[in-house]
Amino acid sequence: MKVLLLGGTGEARELAGQLADFEVVSSLAGRTRELRLPDGEVRVGGFGGASGLAQWLTENQVDAVVDATHPFAATMTEHAVAATRAVGVPLLVLRRPGWGAGPGDDWHWVESADQAASLLPMLGRRVFLTIGRQGLDAFAGTGLWTLARCVDPPEPTPAWCTLLLDRGPYVVDAELELFREHHIDVLVTKDSGGPQTAAKLTAARELHVPVVLIRRPPAPNGVAIVESVAAAANWLRSY
């Protein structure tokens, strides 16, 4: 069975490692400079939209597609849905669960980066921005001191914020130190889910810092969706 694994996440790398008995091709967008490569065959780069992906699936005789991209990679998911439907290849979407507020959390949900930027002046003056390098421009006009953490530097480099280039996983003690060092009084993040970057939420709770969370795009309709690597592996082996 030949599987195209749309990856770039920790779950995708873990799934690729569990599918030694399949012919797996992991596809990475290539936007991150230092790629973490999974086991097995890897291709890097786009397909040329849904039509290009459909052609690639046909030419490479793919039996199934697993979309294990980031929960906010909505365009890639849309292309995967359209392409697999066009050529009649089954599609599974692997999405880690989103985060949920607990006792002591002060969370404020928004639909977009623009909404988050509009809300910030009512919540704090020193911002920790952890949404990645895409969408930073929405916060350029807030007038608030901002620490923006990214894996790769934005281009062009923004002059309105302090950049911190770092990659998870993160631990609570280090996040607490970061909050205190920079006197952070409001956190902005995406509802990415998963444990690798959740330590900042624990730090915000312990320090009574409000959190602005950008909701993830809705899951596609009419496709199989699972929340764990084990469930994805079981789905593939059921064919």
Q: What does the pLDDT profile of the chain (239 residues) look like in tens digits? A: 999 999 989 999 999 999 999 999 999 986 655 667 887 899 998 899 999 999 999 999 999 999 999 999 999 999 999 999 999 999 999 999 999 999 999 999 999 999 999 999 999 999 999 999 888 999 999 999 999 999 889 988 899 999 999 988 999 999 999 999 999 999 999 999 999 899 999 999 999 999 999 999 998 999 999 999 999 999 999 97
Tell whether omega for the bond before 38 is within 30 degrees of 0, i.e. cis: no
- Which stretches of the chain are DSSP H helices? 10-18, 49-59, 74-87, 113-119, 172-181, 199-206, 229-237
If we measure between CA atoms, which residue out of 73, 112, 138, 141 comes closest to residue 212? 112
Q: What is the sign of the dihedral through the CA atoms of 28, 219, 49 and 192?
A: negative
- Beta-carbon contacts of 136 under 8 Å, excluding residues fewer than 6 positions away, are 129, 148, 150, 154, 158, 161
If we measure between CA atoms, which residue out of 169, 164, 214, 170 comes closest to residue 189? 214
Q: Using CA atoms, how far apart are residues 69 and 58, in angstroms rounded to an integer?
A: 21
Domains in the chain, CATH or no CATH each: 2-97+217-237 (3.40.50.720), 107-214 (3.40.50.720)
- Beta-carbon contacts of 84 under 8 Å, excluding residues fewer than 6 positions away, are 54, 57, 65, 90, 91
DSSP state of 152: S
pTM value is 0.89
- pLDDT at residue 155, rounded to an integer: 87
Count of CB atoms situated within 10 Å of the CB of 175 = 23
Query: Token digits for 100?
Result: 């949920």
